[in-house]
A and B are shown apart, each in its own frame.
Chain A
Amino acid sequence: MDATIRKQLEATACKVRMGVIEGVFNAKSGHPGGSLSICDLLTYLYFAKLNVDPKNPKMPERDRLVLSKGHCAPALYSVLAERGFFDKSELKSLRHIGAMLQGHPDMKGTPGVDMSTGSLGQGISAACGMALSGKISNESYKVYAVLGDGEIEEGQVWEAAMFAAHNKLDNLVAIVDNNGLQIDGKITDVCSPMPITDKFEAFGWHVITMNAHDFDDIERAFNEAEKINGKPVAIIQTSTKGKGVSFMENQVGWHGTAPNAEQYEQAMKELNETLKGLEG
C-alpha cells in the first residue's frame, strides 16, 4: 500500500476510534472493546473498498455491509459519520431517548446501515440472503459481514456457513473479528469456537487470515478475497480488543462498559496523541 494512503487510513481509523469513545462515553453504556477492535477493518472497507455513496445510501448497486456483531454499533456509526452518511454530532446522542443511533443498528432509522442486527448470529444469514439475491439477478455488488469470535458460537452462523458454500456465494466475504474475548472471559475458556479457520474450511469456505491492525495486511487479505471464485470467503482477523486505548486493550472488562469522565479524558488524550503523530 502507498505510504501516504496508509497514513491517511491510520489517521481516519484513529478518528473513528475517537468517535467510538465519544459515543460510548456520552451514552454511559455500550461496547467499546469490540468496537475498537474493528475500527481499522471498517475504515479500510468504507474508505478504500466499498462502493457506497453517502448521499445515496440506498443506491441499489451499492456494496452491503452487515455488522453481524451488532453490539459494536459505535464503530459502525463512527465510520459512517466519518464517511459523511450523517453528522458526527449524532454520536453524542448514541443510545439517548429519541436519538437516531440506537443501541444496536437499525436499518430503518440510520442512513448507511444495511441490516438491523444485534441478536448475535443473525446478520450473517441476512448477508447470505443479500448475496444470493445479487446472484439471482446478476448484480455486481459484494456483501461483507462482520462477525465476532464469540458470536460464532451461535449455531445459526454454521447454518449460514453451509448455505453460503452450497450456493457458491463468492460475492460474500465474512470477517471474523478474533479478539479472543467475550463477556464471560476468554473465548477458549467460555466455550471454545476454535479452531476457526479449520471450521470455515471444512464448511467449504476459502479462508484468509489477517492482522486486523495493519493496513498493508488488510489490503493483501481483501485483494486475495477478490480473486476467489465459486466459494464464499472468510477472513479471520487477529485483533486486539480495545485496540488504541492502552488501558482497554485485551481487558475483558471493557467489553460492555463505558468509560467515566477521567477514563474518557485519558482515552481521548491517547488517541489525540496518536492522531498528532500520524498527521504531524
Chain B
Amino acid sequence: MADVIKKATRESYGEALAELSEKYSDLIVLDADLAAATKTGIFKKACPERFFDCGIAEANMMGIAAGIASTGKKVFASSFAMFAAGRAFEIVRNSIGYPHLNVKIGATHAGISVGEDGATHQCNEDIALMRTIPGMTVICPADDVEAKAAVAAALEFNGPVYMRFGRLAVPVFNDKDTYKFELGKGVQLKDGNDVTIIATGLMVNEAMIAADMLAADGINARVINIHTIKPLDKEIVCKAARETGVIVTAEEHSVIGGLGSAVADAVTECCPVPVIKVGVNDVFGHSGPAVQLLKEFGLSAENIAEKAKAAVALKK
C-alpha cells in the first residue's frame, strides 16, 4: 500500500480539459472565479482564448453556457458543487435541462471532504438536486483514471451532464492502460454472494477495503462502482439484489436523494431487498481536516463493513 498514488479528481478534471483541448477545438470552458481551485486554470493556461471567467456569478454562468451550447459549441461550466448545483439549480433546470442543451457542468469540491471551509461549502445535496432534472446525466468518478475518462466520454455525449469531482487527493486504483469508461454502466470490481456494496466517488476505494475486512470475517461481499448515477445501471443493481439479497450503498453525499436513494428506487421495482445507506445522515458538516471528517461522518471502510455485517444479519 506504500506506493499508492493519490490524486484529487478535480486535478484530473483540469488536466483532462487541457489534454482534450486540441481534439475539441470548439471547446469553451467557463468558471466563476475559482479556476485555481476547480483546476480549470490548467485549461486556461493551455487555451486562454477559449477560457472565460464569469466572475462570482454562477447563475449567469449557467445561462452563458446554455447560450454557447445553443450555437453548437461544446462548453464546460465550472464551480464548486454547492454553487453549480445549489445556487444555480433553477438556471440549470430551466436554461439547460428543459431545452436539453449540450452543457457539461464540472462541479468540484463536492461532499464533506471539502474540509476546513466547513458546512457552507460542503455540498452533500448536489446528486439529489441534479438527478431530479429530466434528461440530466449525473457522473461521480472514483479516481483519477475514471475522472479523466469520464470527461472524455461526456464530451462525446450530446446532452447535459453534471460531473462531480472532489478536492481531496484519493487513491488511484484503476489502471489507465486498461480502463474503459462506459456511460451508464456500473463496474463490478469484486464478485461476492453474501452482500453487495454499491459505491460512488471516493467511497469506491473504501468499499474495496471494506470487502477485504469482511473477507477476514468470512463474508464474501460483491463490490460495484456506480460512476454514472443517472441513468443508473439497473441491470447490474437488480442482478446484485437477486444474487446477494442485501445491499449497502456508500456515497459522500446525503442519504437523502443520492446513490442510495437511486439504488433503493431501482430494487423496489425489480427485486425488493434491504438497502442500507452509508452517507451523510441528514446533517450539516463542519470545519476540520477532510480525512478526519470522513471518519467522523461514517464515510469509511470500517462503517461500510459494519453496515454490511448488519445487512447480512437481516438475511437470517
- Give chain A's interface residues, CB within 8 Å of chain B: 60, 66, 106-108, 114-116, 118-119, 121-134, 136-137, 155-156, 159-160, 162-163, 166-167
Q: Beta-carbon contacts of B52-84 to A below 8 Å, as 1s and 0s?
A: 101101011111111111111100000000000
Complex Cα distance, B50 from A60, in Å, reads 20
Which residue of the partner chain B has the closest CB to A155?
B59
Tell me the bound Cα distance from A131 to B99 in angstroms.
18
Identify whether the interface residues of A are mostly helix, strand, loop, or mixed: helix
Q: A129-B63, A130-B68, A156-B60 are in contact. Are A167 and B73 (CB under 8 A)?
A: no
A107 touches B64 (CB 8 A): no
Q: Which of B54, B73, B100 contacts A136 (CB 8 A)?
A: B73
Beyond the given A116-B94, A116-B95, A126-B63, please list 11 additional residue pairs across the A-B interface where CB-CB is below 8 A. A115-B67, A116-B98, A118-B94, A128-B63, A129-B63, A132-B64, A133-B67, A136-B50, A156-B57, A160-B60, A167-B52
Q: Can you sample 11 A-B contacts with CB below 8 Å?
A: A119-B91, A128-B63, A129-B71, A131-B67, A137-B26, A159-B54, A160-B64, A162-B60, A163-B60, A163-B64, A166-B55
B contacts with A, residue count (CB < 8 A) = 30
* Also in contact, A125 and B99, with CB within 8 A (given A130-B70, A163-B55): no
Contact B70 A159, beta carbon cutoff 8 Å: no
Of residues 188 through 213 on chain B, the ones whose CB sits less than 8 Å from some CB of chain A are none
Tell whether A125 pairs with B59 under 8 Å between CB atoms, given A60-B72, A107-B70, A134-B71: yes
Quick check: is B90 within 8 A (CB to CB) of the other chain? yes
Instruction: Report the minimum CB–CB distance from A201 to chain B (whole Å).
Output: 20
CA distance A155 to B60 in the complex (A): 9
Determine whether the beta carbon of B63 is less than 8 Å from that of A160. Answer: yes
A136 to B52, CA, bound (A): 11
Q: Is there an interface contact between A156 and B91, defined as CB atoms closer than 8 Å?
A: yes
Interface flags for B122-160 (1: CB within 8 Å of A; 0: not) read: 000000000000000000000000000000000000000
How many angstroms between the C-alpha atoms of A108 and B28 in the bound complex?
A: 23
For residue A160, which residues in chain B have a CB less than 8 angstroms away from its CB? 60, 63-64
Give the chain A neighbours of B71 by CB distance below 8 A: 60, 129-130, 133-134
B residues near A121, Cβ cutoff 8 Å: 59
State in angstroms the CA–CA spacing of A114 and B70 once bound together: 8
Bound together, the chains give a CA A127 to CA B60 distance in angstroms of 11
Closest to B71 in A: A133
Question: Does more than half of chain B's interface fall in helix, strand or loop, or is it mixed?
Answer: helix
How many Å lie between the Cα of A134 and that of B90 in the bound state? 26
Interface positions of B (Cβ within 8 A of A): 26, 28, 49-50, 52, 54-55, 57, 59-73, 90-91, 94-95, 98-100
B72 touches A115 (CB 8 A): no
Closest to B55 in A: A162
**Docked CA distance A129–B73 (Å):** 11
Chain A's nearest CB lies how many Å from the CB of B54?
Answer: 6
Q: In the complex, which of the residues A106, A108, A132, A137 contacts B67, with contact meaning CB atoms closer than 8 Å?
A: A132
Q: How far apart are the CA atoms of A106 and B98 in the complex, in Å? A: 8
Complex Cα spacing A129 to B117, Å: 32
User: With the chains together, A137 CA to B49 CA distance in Å?
Assistant: 11
Give the residue of B50, B59, B68 whose beta carbon is less than 8 angstroms from that of A159. Answer: B59
Q: Which residues does chain B contribute within 8 Å of A130, judged by CB atoms?
A: 67-68, 70-71
Distance in Å from the Cβ of A102 to the closest Cβ of chain B? 10
Cα–Cα distance between A156 and B54 once the two chains are bound (Å): 12
**Residue A132 contacts which of B49, B52, B59, B72 (CB distance < 8 angstroms)?**
B52
Nearest B residue to A121, CB-CB: B59
Within 8 Å by CB of B95, from A122, A134, A167, lies A122
Q: Are A126 and B66 in contact (CB under 8 A)?
A: yes
What separation, in Å, do the CA atoms of A153 and B3 have in the docked complex?
56
Question: A60 CB to closest chain B CB, in angstroms?
Answer: 7
B65: contacting residue among A108, A119, A129, CB under 8 A? A129
Provide the bound-state CA to CA distance between A196 and B268, in Å: 55
Please give the distance in Å from B75's CB to the nearest CB on chain A.
8
For B63, list chain A residues within 8 Å (CB). Answer: 122-126, 128-129, 156, 160
